[in-house]
Amino acid sequence: MLPLSGERKDAKGIISEKLDSGDVIRGSSTLKRGFAHMLKNGVVMDVTNVEQAKIAEEAGAVSVMVLDKLPSDVRKAGGVARTASIRIIEEIMDSVTIPVMAKCRIGHVNEALVLQETDVDMIDESEVLTPADELRHIWKWDMTTPVVNGARSLAEALRRIEEGAAMIRTKGEPGTGNVAEAITHIKKVNDELRTIKSMYDSGDNQDLVRMAREFKVSYDIVEQTAKLGRLPVVNFAAGGIATPADAAYLMSLGCDGIFVGSGIFAADDAAERARAIVLATTFWNEADKVKEAQKMIDERQSMLGLDVKTLELRMQDRGGSA
């Protein structure tokens, strides 16, 4: 079990309430990170309406992520992508029993507060939507609702965790049906984790200080992460996952679970593909089960993948310098 330490005494998101049974604390780091732990080994599916949310729940998704448009449609539509309709979010919350998440724009504090007031279970400060602030992410310690952030490297992940993120996901390249970038990101994070772990194990504190400066984070979080040999929060994979084999491969690289969006509902066999990806994520280390999951889908019904190298819009780059 990963430690759930990392509380800040000045965190404004912690709320203490008195009930008949005693004091109740909401918004603590332990609770927010603990919620993410409850989703481990599961699949979170992007949905845009009640029908899709019900398909996701029936397929075994541990949560749904509500958007106005799927990432592939955001890419096609262009313009400014904002948080989903609150009415749609509430309809989905009333229709399913699994946790409901929703996306806000990077740096858009008030979109996040609106989602918090809507009582979503987790907020995704997402590069899929058009960033409101390219230089500053939301200070998530002031949020009572847990927040997940994307990252392409260990440095990005640790910066988001220092801001209060309760969960990290590799960004991949959303809406492409091409898993290559998600694989690149988790392998990069793993390589960098091994590097700082070796520094810690050898007692090389000076190099850990150097890495903290390079990552633009505190020494304490680098030391804690190096000691663990992995991120101090749950880390899911995301971006371009379209098949059960994609999901199983990312789980084999050390991911705690999967976010999948356009790969399901942009395909012609959404219900079967959703069940297959859940099956492959759960039994990723059993090749016969992954084979059965792969047989449940028809490659001819998969979404058309995009070559990431030729894209004009690379969503993964949004907010990356912050």
| 13 occurs within a structural domain | no
Residue 264 maps to a domain: yes
pLDDT of residue 300: 84
pLDDT band of residue 6 (cuts 50, 70, 90) is low
Bridge partner list, 272: none
302 vs 319: CA distance, rounded Å: 30
Average pLDDT of the segment spanning 197-207: 96
Domain carrying residue 234? 27-304
Q: Domain for residue 218, yes or no?
A: yes
Orientation of helix 50-59 relative to helix 270-282, angle to 10°: 40
Q: How many CB atoms lie within 10 A of CB 180?
A: 17
Residue 18 lies in a domain: no
Task: For the chain, give the number of residues.
Answer: 322
Q: Is 2 part of a structural domain of the chain?
A: no
pLDDT computed for residue 280 by the predictor: 97
Give a yes or no: residue 316 inside a domain: no
Residues 146-158 have pLDDT tens digits of 999 999 999 999 9
Instruction: Report the domain count for the chain.
Output: 1
Residue 217 has pLDDT above 70, yes or no: yes
CA 230/CA 200 separation, integer angstroms: 12
Q: What is the pLDDT of residue 139?
A: 96
b/e map 229-241, b = 16+ CB within 10 Å = eebbbbbbbbbbb
User: Is residue 175 in some structural domain?
Assistant: yes
Whether 124 contacts 147, CB under 8 Å = yes
188 is catalytic: no
Bridge partners of 223, per DSSP, are: none
CB contact at 8 A, 177 and 72: yes
What pLDDT, on the 0 to 100 scale, is given for residue 1?
Answer: 39
Going by the DSSP 8-state scheme, the letter that residue 118 receives in this structure is T
Q: Mean pLDDT over residues 136-163, rounded?
A: 96
Note whether 64 and 45 are within 8 A (CB).
yes
pLDDT of 311: 66
Percent of the chain at pLDDT > 90 equals: 73
Query: What are 255's two structure tokens?
Result: 């991911």
Which of the following is catalytic: 69, 103, 140, 171? 103
The CATH number assigned to the domain holding 56 equals 3.20.20.70
Predicted TM-score (pTM) of this structure: 0.92
What mean pLDDT, rounded, does the chain reach? 91
In a domain, 261, yes or no: yes
- The C-alpha atoms of residue 91 and residue 117 are separated, in whole angstroms, by 15
Structure tokens at 221: 């979080």
Contact (CB, 8 A) for 241 and 250: yes
Residue that the structure tokens 């058309």 belong to: 304
Q: Are 240 and 269 in contact (CB under 8 A)?
A: no
Which of 232, 179, 182, 238 is CA-nearest to residue 44?
238
Condensed to tens digits (0 to 9), the pLDDT of residues 280-299 reads 999 999 999 999 999 999 88
Question: What is the per-residue pLDDT across 92-128, written as a single tens digit (0 to 9) for each?
Answer: 999 999 999 999 999 999 999 999 999 999 999 999 8
Share of the chain above pLDDT 70, in %: 95
Neighbours of 191 (CB within 10 A): 11
What pLDDT shows up at residue 309?
72
